[in-house]
């Protein structure tokens, strides 16, 4: 294990200990509570019901480990990893206690690996696969850009590099195609991220911090070597990893990383607003929008804090609080509302209160049944909106929801927002 000065569970003892059990971490912000249905935002609690499957419970387990008051058992592992790391708890906690419960759980996983405990088998398999083949699917690394259409218009002096991500490179290639369709419609000079490798999100969420740092460093080095400083992604997970996790594991502020990361929805919304992009093709469809955790509440810039606490727990130096309130919430909605013929219906749990699709935090790999249960819960909520399709801005959300649709024989359609927007811009979104 590398000697580290950050991301120690001990650094978040205050946050685990300060929990009084107010349940802000599990309930939807009460201002946005719409009734008896769907009160929870914590997928883990919804599925497993016992309080330990929440931030408030996991924090107590973490303290027991820190205080050497108990063994790390198989059950402890399940409790720790049956969590989407979706950050719903973190957003909720800001209202009452202003603690960082998500960081307790992230660093608890790091603590577990550092102390010789393995992640769940399914997740371990994925991280091993990434180590072997630089992508989560075990596909040939040299086929990563095979999705690229022959007529793609790369710029020789690109304004930005498109970091495609494993999913759209190998699985949902239509998203990658739609993304470059949007970039081209906006006349943006772009090129593909050279020799792109998995962003390393599964590695980080597994708790294997050293490996995550190594993976991050590879991509950062590549970026530096390219001379570019702006990356665009269509994958919310890659976006959040570059924007939040890389600086987090490097113990830097996001704005000190020397690059700028932008999600395609941020870019497109800006271009629609300034008139560069003009969605003109009708998309006659009623849709709702599913906020990807990674794009929304998890994407505040990272701001490290190291210091001490004085009276009443006041921080010295004074901590700059991250409160899940600067994420990409409005841009996807602005895009959808700009599309002719498209009717937008808001879902009950939305924005920082959204229910995770179920895939996050390694859950889809480690506990696929749990991931599907959560997706089904979300699909029921989607059905309540009356929308015929659900749109997201993350290929993993689309995947997980699509799988639940397929398995459950449901009729709702699932799309990535790039597909919808590309259709509205070019009539060639492939819907």
Partner 1 sequence: MISKEIYKELEEIVGPDNISQDRDVCQAYVMGGDRAWHNTDAKALSTIPEIVLLPGSTEEVQKIVKVACKHKITYTPSSTFWFPTASPSNEDALLLDLKRMKHFEIDAKNMNATVGPGINFGQLQAEAMNNGLYTMVPGGGSQVGVIANTLIWGYSPLTYRTGLANRRIMGAEWILPDGEIVQIGSLASGEDGFWGEGIGPDLRGILRGSIGWHGSMGIVTKMTVKLFPFHEEKLVPVGTTPWTFFLFPEERMKWYNFTCPDKKTMVDFMYDIGHCEIGAANTRVPISWRYMARARDKEKFHEIWMEDREQKRKEVAETAILRVMLIGYTSRKQLQYEEKVLMQIAENHGCEHRRTRQVDGSWMQSCDAVTMWWLTGANMSVTGQLDSLDCSVKMGEKFADLKEKYTPPLMDDHHDPGWFQLNDFGHNGYLEFMNYAEPYETEENVEKILDYYAIAGPKIVIDAGALSFFNQAISPASLDGPNYGPNFHLYAKKVKDAFDPEGLANPPGILDRIDTVIDRIPVLKAKKDW
Residues that bind partner 1 (CB under 8 A): 16-24, 27-36, 39, 49-52, 54, 56-57, 59-61, 63-64, 70, 73, 75-76, 79, 91-92, 94-99, 311-315, 318-319, 321, 323-325, 329, 351-353
Report the residue number, 28 or 110, with the smaller CB distance to partner 1: 28
CB 367, CB 82: distance < 8 Å: yes
CB of 207 to partner 1, least distance (A): 17
Bridge partners for 391 per DSSP = 289, 415
Query: Smallest distance from the beta carbon of 61 to partner 1, in angstroms?
Result: 5
- In the complex with partner 1, the residue whose CB is nearer, 94 or 378, is 94
What count of Cα atoms within 13 Å lies in the side-chain half-sphere of residue 337? Answer: 9
Q: CB nearer to partner 1: give 17 or 133.
A: 17
Least distance to partner 1, CB of residue 211, Å: 26
Which is nearer to partner 1, 17 or 426 (by Cβ)? 17
**Parallel, antiparallel or unpaired: strands 190-192 and 413-416:** unpaired
Distance CA 106, CA 431 (A): 37
Question: At its nearest, how many Å lie between partner 1 and the CB of residue 3?
Answer: 28
Distance CA 82, CA 300 (A): 24
Nearer of residues 172 and 299 to partner 1, judged by Cβ: 299
Nearest to 295 by CA among 256, 218, 350, 258: 350
The nearer residue to partner 1, 50 or 258, going by C-beta atoms, is 50
Task: CB nearer to partner 1: give 54 or 135.
Answer: 54
Q: In angstroms, what is the minimal distance from the CB of 282 to partner 1?
A: 30
CB of 77 to partner 1, least distance (A): 10
Contacts of 9 (CB under 8 A, 6+ apart): 62, 65, 66, 104, 107, 108, 110, 111
**Cα(first)–Cα(last) distance of the chain, in Å?**
48
Kindly state the smallest distance separating residue 92's Cβ from partner 1, in Å. 7
Nearer to partner 1, 115 or 187 (CB): 115
The nearer residue to partner 1, 21 or 284, going by C-beta atoms, is: 21
Q: Which is nearer to partner 1, 381 or 423 (CB)?
A: 381
Beta bridge partners of 323: none
Nearest distance from C-beta of residue 152 to partner 1, angstroms: 37
Cβ 7 to partner 1, closest distance in Å? 21
Give which of 108, 80, 92 is closest to 21, Cα–Cα.
Answer: 92
Q: Report the nearest approach of partner 1 to the CB of residue 244 (Å).
A: 17
Residue 101 near residue 89, CB atoms below 8 Å: yes
């Amino acid at each position: 294990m590398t000697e580290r000065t950050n991301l120690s569970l001990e650094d978040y003892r205050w946050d685990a200990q300060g929990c009084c059990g107010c349940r802000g971490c599990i309930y939807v912000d009460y201002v946005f509570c719409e009734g008896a249905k769907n009160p929870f935002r914590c997928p883990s609690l919804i599925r497993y019901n016992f309080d330990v499957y929440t931030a408030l419970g996991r924090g107590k387990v973490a303290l027991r480990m820190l205080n050497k008051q108990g063994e790390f058992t198989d059950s402890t592992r399940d409790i720790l990893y049956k969590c989407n790391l979706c950050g719903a708890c973190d957003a909720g906690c800001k209202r009452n206690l202003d603690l960082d419960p998500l960081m307790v759980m992230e660093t608890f996983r790091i603590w577990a690996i550092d102390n010789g405990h393995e992640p769940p088998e399914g997740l371990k398999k994925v991280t091993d696969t990434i180590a072997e083949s630089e992508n989560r699917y075990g596909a040939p690394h040299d086929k990563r850009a095979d999705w690229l259409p022959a007529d793609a218009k790369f710029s020789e002096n690109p304004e930005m590099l498109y970091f495609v991500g494993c999913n759209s490179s190998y699985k949902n290639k239509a998203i990658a195609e739609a993304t470059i369709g949007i970039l081209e419609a906006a006349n943006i000079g772009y090129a593909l991220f050279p020799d792109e490798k998995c962003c390393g999100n599964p590695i980080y969420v597994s708790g294997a911090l050293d490996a995550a740092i190594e993976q991050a460093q590879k991509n950062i080095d590549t970026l530096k070597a390219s001379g570019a400083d702006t990356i665009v992604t269509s994958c919310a997970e890659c976006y959040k990893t570059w924007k939040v996790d890389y600086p987090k594991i490097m113990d830097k502020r996001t704005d000190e990383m020397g690059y700028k990361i932008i999600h395609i929805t941020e870019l497109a919304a800006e271009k629609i607003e300034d008139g560069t992009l003009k969605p003109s093709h009708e998309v006659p469809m009623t849709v709702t929008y599913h906020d990807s955790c990674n794009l929304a509440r998890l994407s505040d810039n990272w701001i490290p804090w190291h210091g001490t606490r004085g009276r009443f727990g006041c921080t010295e130096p004074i901590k700059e609080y991250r409160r899940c309130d600067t994420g990409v919430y409005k841009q996807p909605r602005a895009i959808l509302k700009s599309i002719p013929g498209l009717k937008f219906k808001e879902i009950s749990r939305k924005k920082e209160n959204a229910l995770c699709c179920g895939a996050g935090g390694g859950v889809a790999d480690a506990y696929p049944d749990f991931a599907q249960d959560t997706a089904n819960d979300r699909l029921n909520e989607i059905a309540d909106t009356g929308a015929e399709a659900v749109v997201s801005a993350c290929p993993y959300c689309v995947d997980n929801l699509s799988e639940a649709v397929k398995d459950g024989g449901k009729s709702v359609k699932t799309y990535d927002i790039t597909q919808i927007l590309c259709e509205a811009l070019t009539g060639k979104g492939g819907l």
